[in-house]
Structure 1
Amino acid sequence: MMSGEGEEKVVCVTGASGFVASWLVKLLLQRGYTVKATVRDPNSPKTEHLRELDGATERLHLFKANLLEEGSFDSAVDGCDGVFHTASPVIFLSDNPQEWYSLAKTLAEEAAWKFAKENGIDLVAIHPGTVIGPFFQPILNFGAEVILNLINGDQSFAFPYIFVEIRDVVYAHIRALEVPKASGRYLLAGSVAQHSDILKFLREHYPTLLRSGKLEEKYQPTIKVSQERAKSLGINFTPWEVGVRGCIESLMEKGFLS
C-alpha cells in the first residue's frame, strides 16, 4: 500500500541486492518513491527479488555500477532527491571477512564526511547493531548467519548481541531523509540479547531445530547504548524476539533449516 510520502521524488539506493538495501527498496516503493537502484549486474538472478516487489515495474530502475570504477554511479545518482549509500568495496585479504567488511564501512564513512564537508552535502550516517529479521534476498546476511550458527551449536557466537529489527533500520534511513532536522550520526541499538537468552527463546519456540542441547554459562558483560537520538527520528524499537522469529521463518522458508 502506497503511503504517498515519496510521490514525485526520486532516490538512489546503492548495493540494492543486499539485506538492508533490499528492504529499503521495498519500503521506498511502498511510500511512493521512484527508486534508482545500483547493483553489480542488473541481469543477475540475485536481483530477481527486487523486480518482484510491488511497484517495481513502474518505479524501480536498476543500474549497473561498481564502487571500484570511478564514474559508474553518475547516471544513477543524477537527478535524485536523496541517495542511500549501503554498498562498500571489500577485498578479502584476511581469514576473517567480517573484519574487512567493518573496516570498509568505517573508511567509507570517514571519506563521506570529508567529501560532504568540502562540497556542502547534507549527510546523515546510520549505525545499526546486528540487524535481524525476515529476509528475501537469496544470500544469507550476517544476522541470519548468527542465528543459524547458534541453532547448529556453534559456541563462537556466545556473546551479547545488540539486535535491531530490519524494519526499524530501514525506517530510520527513510526518516533521515524525510525529517529536515536530521543530521550527524545515529546509533540504532534495539535491545541486548545474551547468548543464553537466544538459546532459551529457541528452546521454547523452536525446540526441534536445535542441533545441540548444550548451553555453556559464560560471563557476559552488560551492554548499554543510548536510544535517544534514534528516537528523535520517531523510531520505536521492536523487541529482538520479533526479529529472531522473522529470521528463523525465512531460514526455514528458504531451505536453510528444516
Structure 2
Amino acid sequence: MAPASSLPSSKTVCVMDASGRLGSSLVEKLLQLGYTVHASLFNNGDFHGCAKGLALAETGRRLRVFRSDPFDYHSIVDAVRGCSGLFYTFETPQDQPSYDEFMVEMEVRAAHNVLEACAQTDTMERVVFTSSVTAVIWKEDPKLADDFGERDWSDPNFCRKFKLWHALAKTLSEKTAWALAMDRGVDMVSINAGLLTGQELSASTPYLKGTPEMYEDGVLVTVDVEFLVDAHVCVYECPSAFGRYLCFNHAVCRPEDAVKFSQMLNPSSPCHPPSNDLRVIQQKIQNKKLSKAMLEFASGIYVEE
C-alpha cells in the first residue's frame, strides 16, 4: 500500500535482519518503491528474496548485501552507513531454535548495539523497530485491564515467573531501544506485531507459549506478512507517525476461529468441530492507531497529533 501520489524514492534504507521472512519481504517491497536498500544479514542467514531482489534492483545497483553480527557494533555501523532509515527485526538464529534466558540477553544486547549505531549515523532520519504484541499483553491479572493499547507493557517479573521468554525478550529489548532512542535523539517508532502467519509457522513457535491464556484474555491476534510490511512502510514514510503501533489484521475470539487456528498450526491433524469448552471471547486489544495511520497514508493526508 502506498499513496497514489507517491513518487519513487531515492533514499537509502537498511533492513536488518534481512534473512527472515519479514526482512526479505521488506527488502522486496522497498525496492519496488524505488529505495536503495542495504540488506543486512545476521550471522549465516540467507537472503530468501535475493534473486528476485536483484532483478528488481536493476541488476543489483540499488541493492547491497551486508553480513552483520548483532554483537559486533562495527559491522552494524558498516551496514547503516549512509542510510536515512533502518527497519530492524530480530528473529531467532537457526542454531538457537527456542527462546530461553540466553535469547533474552541476546536480544537486549543486539537492540542496544543497533540503536547506538543509528545514533552515530548522521544521515539517519528514522528507525522502525519491530517488536511484538507479547511485549504488551502479559500482566498479573489481564482480566482487570481495559482494552490493551500502545501504552501497555508486559510485566517482566510476570514473564520470568512463567518463563515467557519470548515476551520477556521483546519487552526488554524494546524498552532498551526506546531508552537509547530518547537519550540519543533518534526518531524511532515501533511495530508491535501479532503472530506472523504463513508456511513457516508451527506449534513450537516461541510466540505461542501461553496461547490458551491469550485466547481467554481476548488478545490472541495474528498478522499476515503483506499487511505487516505495509504497516512498516506506512510508519516510516508518514511524517506524523510516533510511538508504538499494535499491528494485526485478525483476532482469534470465536470457537470456530480457534479451530482454524489449531488447523493452521497442525495441518495434518483432523478437523474437529468447535469444542464445547470454548466460548466467544470479547476482543480486548485494539489497533485503531495503526488503522488511522494507514488510512491517512493511503490518502496522502496526514493529521498532526
TM-score by length of 1: 0.69
Q: Is residue 230 of structure 2 the alignment partner of residue 229 of structure 1?
A: no
Matched, 1:9 2:11: yes
Residues 49-71 of structure 1 deviation map (CA, whole Å, 9 limit, x = unaligned): 33333424232211111112222
Instruction: Give the direction of change, closer, same or farther, for the CA distance of 1:110–1:214 in structure 2 (3 Å limit).
Output: same
Partner amino acid for 2:291?
K
Q: TM-score, normalised by structure 2?
A: 0.59
Partner secondary structure for residue 182 of structure 1: coil
| Distance (whole Å) between structure 2 residues aligned to residue 14 and residue 157 of structure 1 | 28
Q: 1:182 to 1:48 in 2, by over 3 A?
A: closer
**Aligned twin of 1:71:** 74
- The aligned runs of 1:1-258 (5 Å cut-off) are 5-41=7-43, 46-53=46-53, 54-56=55-57, 57-87=60-90, 92-93=99-100, 99-133=164-198, 140=200, 144-146=201-203, 160=215, 161-194=220-253, 196-198=255-257, 210-215=268-273, 216-220=275-279, 221-234=281-294
Deviations 1:7-42 (A, max 9, x none): 211000101111211211111111011110111357
Deviations 1:84-107 (A, max 9, x none): 11126777446x999433322222
Q: Deviations over 1:170-194 (max 9, x none)?
A: 1111111111110001111322124
Structure 1 residues 192 and 62: CA distance shift in structure 2, 3 A: same
CA distance in 2, matches of 1:173, 1:17: 17
Partners of 1:147 and 1:169 lie apart in 2 by 21
Query: How many pairs were matched up?
Result: 215
Tell me by how many angstroms 1:112 deviates. Answer: 1.0
User: For residues 92 and 181 of structure 2, what CA distance do their matches in structure 1 show?
Assistant: 19
RMSD: 3.6
What CA distance in whole angstroms lies between the structure 1 residues aligned with 2:251 and 2:194? 10
Q: Structure 1: which 5+ residue stretches go unaligned?
A: 149-155, 237-258
Partner of 1:153: none
Structure 1 equivalent of residue 152 of structure 2: none
Unaligned runs of 5+ in 2: 105-162, 297-305
Tell me the equivalent position of 2:150: none
Paired letter, 2:185: G
Match of 1:245 in 2: none
Q: Percent identical across equivalent pairs?
A: 27
